[in-house]
Amino acid sequence: MQTNAQALLLSSSNCHGFSLLEFAKQEICSFLETRNVSELVFVPYAQKNYDDYTKKIKDAFTPWGFSVIGLHTYSDPAAAINSAKAIFVGGGNTFLLLKTLYDNQLVHLIREKVITGNLLYIGSSAGTNVATKSIHTTNDMPIIYPPSFDAISIVPFNINPHYIDKIETDTHKGETRDQRIEEYMEMPHANPVLGLREGCILHVNGDSLVLKGVAGAVLFEVNVSKKVEYPVGADVSFLLNYAKETC
Amino acid sequence: MQTNAQALLLSSSNCHGFSLLEFAKQEICSFLETRNVSELVFVPYAQKNYDDYTKKIKDAFTPWGFSVIGLHTYSDPAAAINSAKAIFVGGGNTFLLLKTLYDNQLVHLIREKVITGNLLYIGSSAGTNVATKSIHTTNDMPIIYPPSFDAISIVPFNINPHYIDKIETDTHKGETRDQRIEEYMEMPHANPVLGLREGCILHVNGDSLVLKGVAGAVLFEVNVSKKVEYPVGADVSFLLNYAKETC
Ligand SMILES: [Ca+2]
Ligand SMILES: [Ca+2]
């Protein structure tokens, strides 16, 4: 897969022991500063109250020297994306986010701009899910029906954010996270799934993929029975070679 | 809502302290015996290996005096449903189950037969989700894209099976179950959600709805800020009066 994409895909905005987005501060600041970007367009579509959500994100970014404008404040969201240099796509509900991106005809536009190196992408949680091949591996409840589970496809595989291998409680009979991901891996259309532990960041820099942040990731591959652990600093660029026939 | 439906909707097949389906044995036996039914058609579509799954269910039902035949063993599933007196729809993945029901054109057929009192329905977990208005409140991962989230609609509201109000771990930042359900309740198309704790059974007997089993349920209603607990034995027939305009 040929790409000039520049992206930071965060497992979550919150990480135990840190204030909102604080665990990712250094990566976000250097990502934007080395590319001379000081203004972010924030995509609040994963939550219901766009103004409140934008204020929260603005409050986190302002002390770091970046200005934040909510995408919902523009009358023409596509035009706003077209003139933006960087977007931050926040977490919330992945189904609501993807549906709203489709409703505003932004999925293909964002893909084209990011892949050609004309838009920096920062995503967190649901904002990371929609950056991948599909939302088949979100943890969210399907509260609204999107026109497709196919997503922006900045990377040609899937991510499971907030990855955790502990079970909820030892007496509860609901599936564990690993069982849920294994159900997906049995599907004929399954892509590899990178489980980002809370605090992990996938840094996409053209054809280089490196794990950053304060926690690592776990890789599930089709026809590979055991998941593989990757620590912070690991190079996972080989995942870009993955291009499944669409079915 | 006018209905002659006869159904047992189980929160799950497994319940802590019981073998497979054992917590529901008494209810299932009396449900089938009082209606003179000794043969069940089992719908294994929520899992991948239909034969293995059917064998497991058969092993649970045989000692109770019921015979079980997998729906997948019939060349014409619709014809098999048409001649069946009772079906058991097992758990697994709700998206896979609903997609396969649609692929086999069984959603409307099962609805018509159940609502008119011509087919007994037993569902568990995913099999309970698809019996309700929609699968918007499943806990499952969206591993495959169904043509709709609308489901069989034996009851005019939603169920969350395996309901639990504990959080996964106190340091994990993923949403709690209540937060997930509340995200759904904010949607304009939201229906009431009955959270069935593991071990709870909703007994549908025409226009009577009663909680059975060894655990109760929790009700979330639109524009009601606090969830309400209902113990085993509670009559929740009032939920049948709920008929939202489809949007
Ligand atoms: Ca979420
Ligand atoms: Ca399940």
Task: Note the pLDDT of residue A146.
Answer: 98
Task: Note the pLDDT of residue A40.
Answer: 97
User: In chain A, what is the straight-line distance between the N-terminal and C-terminal CA atoms, in Å?
Assistant: 18
Residues in chain B with CB shorter than 8 Å from the CB of A95 are 142
Residue A16 sits at the chain B interface (C-beta within 8 Å):
yes
Mutant choice from A99, A145, A178 vs B, greatest count of B C-beta within 10 A: A145
Task: Note the pLDDT of residue A246.
Answer: 44
Task: Note the pLDDT of residue A172.
Answer: 74
What's the rounded mean pLDDT across residues B97-119?
98
- Three-state SS for chain B is CCCCCEEEEECCCCCCCCCCCHHHHHHHHHHHHCCCCCEEEEECCCCCCHHHHHHHHHHHHHHHCCEEEEHHHCCCHHHHHHHCCEEEECCCCHHHHHHHHHHCCCHHHHHHHHHCCCCEEEEECHHHHCCCCECCCCCCCCCCCCCCCECCCCCCCEEEEEECCCCCCCCCCCCCHHHHHHHHHCCCCCCCEEEEECCEEEEEECCEEEEEECCCEEEECCCCCCCEEECCCCECHHHHHCCCCCC
Task: Note the pLDDT of residue A16.
Answer: 84
Residue B244 has pLDDT above 70, yes or no: no
Task: Note the pLDDT of residue B109.
Answer: 98
Mean of all residue pLDDT scores within chain B = 94
Residue B142 sits at the chain A interface (C-beta within 8 Å):
yes
What is the Å distance from ligand 2's center to B126 Cα? 6
What's the rounded mean pLDDT across residues B99-119?
98
Residue B141 sits at the chain A interface (C-beta within 8 Å):
yes
Task: Note the pLDDT of residue B1.
Answer: 58
**Number of separate helices (H) and strands (E) present in chain A:** 7, 11
Half-sphere exposure of B99 (CA within 13 A, CB side): 14
Task: Note the pLDDT of residue A162.
Answer: 92
Residue ranges covered by each domain of chain A: 6-241
Main-chain dihedrals φ then ψ at residue B6, nearest 5 degrees: -125, 115
Closest residue in B to A13 (Cα–Cα) = B173
Percent of chain B surpassing pLDDT 90: 85
The per-residue pLDDT for range B196-233, each reduced to its tens digit, is 999 999 999 999 999 999 999 999 998 888 999 999 99
Task: Note the pLDDT of residue B182.
Answer: 94
Six-digit token pair at B210?
Answer: 């009663």
Of A96, A142, A169, which has the smallest distance from its Cβ to B142's Cβ?
Answer: A142
Percent of chain A surpassing pLDDT 70: 95
Mutant choice from A138, A141, A169, A186 vs B, greatest count of B C-beta within 10 A: A141
Task: Note the pLDDT of residue B193.
Answer: 97
Task: Note the pLDDT of residue B174.
Answer: 77
What is the band of A104 on the pLDDT scale with cuts at 50, 70, 90?
Answer: very high
What's the rounded mean pLDDT across residues B67-95?
98
Q: List the catalytic residues of B.
A: 125, 140, 162
Task: Note the pLDDT of residue A244.
Answer: 54
The 3-state DSSP class for residue A116 equals coil
For residue A208, how many other CB atoms are within 10 A of its CB? 11
> Any idea which of A47-61, A167-181, B109-123 has the lowest mean pLDDT?
A167-181
- The answer to whether B172 contacts A198, with C-beta atoms less than 8 Å apart, is yes
What's the rounded mean pLDDT across residues A88-112?
98
- The topology under which CATH files domain A6-241 is Rossmann fold (3.40.50)
- The answer to whether B143 contacts A136, with C-beta atoms less than 8 Å apart, is yes
Of A15, A92, A189, which has the smallest distance from its Cβ to B173's Cβ?
Answer: A15
- Strands, E assignment, A62-216: 67-70, 86-89, 120-124, 158-163, 193-197, 200-205, 208-213
The 3-state DSSP class for residue A24 equals helix
Residues in chain A with CB shorter than 8 Å from the CB of B197 are none
Q: List the catalytic residues of A.
A: 125, 140, 162
Task: Note the pLDDT of residue A174.
Answer: 77
What is the band of B169 on the pLDDT scale with cuts at 50, 70, 90?
Answer: low
- The answer to whether A140 contacts B189, with C-beta atoms less than 8 Å apart, is no
The 3-state DSSP class for residue A36 equals coil
**Backbone dihedral region of A199: left (phi > 0), alpha (psi from -120 to 50 degrees) or beta?**
left
- The answer to whether A143 contacts B164, with C-beta atoms less than 8 Å apart, is no
Residue A41 has pLDDT above 70, yes or no: yes
Percent of chain A surpassing pLDDT 90: 85
> Higher confidence at residue A222 or residue A166?
A222
Residue A150 has pLDDT above 60, yes or no: yes
Name the minimum distance, in Å, from the CA of A205 to any CA of chain B. Answer: 27
The per-residue pLDDT for range A169-205, each reduced to its tens digit, is 667 777 889 999 999 999 999 999 999 999 999 999 9
Task: Note the pLDDT of residue B247.
Answer: 37
Residue A156 has pLDDT above 90, yes or no: yes
Task: Note the pLDDT of residue A17.
Answer: 86
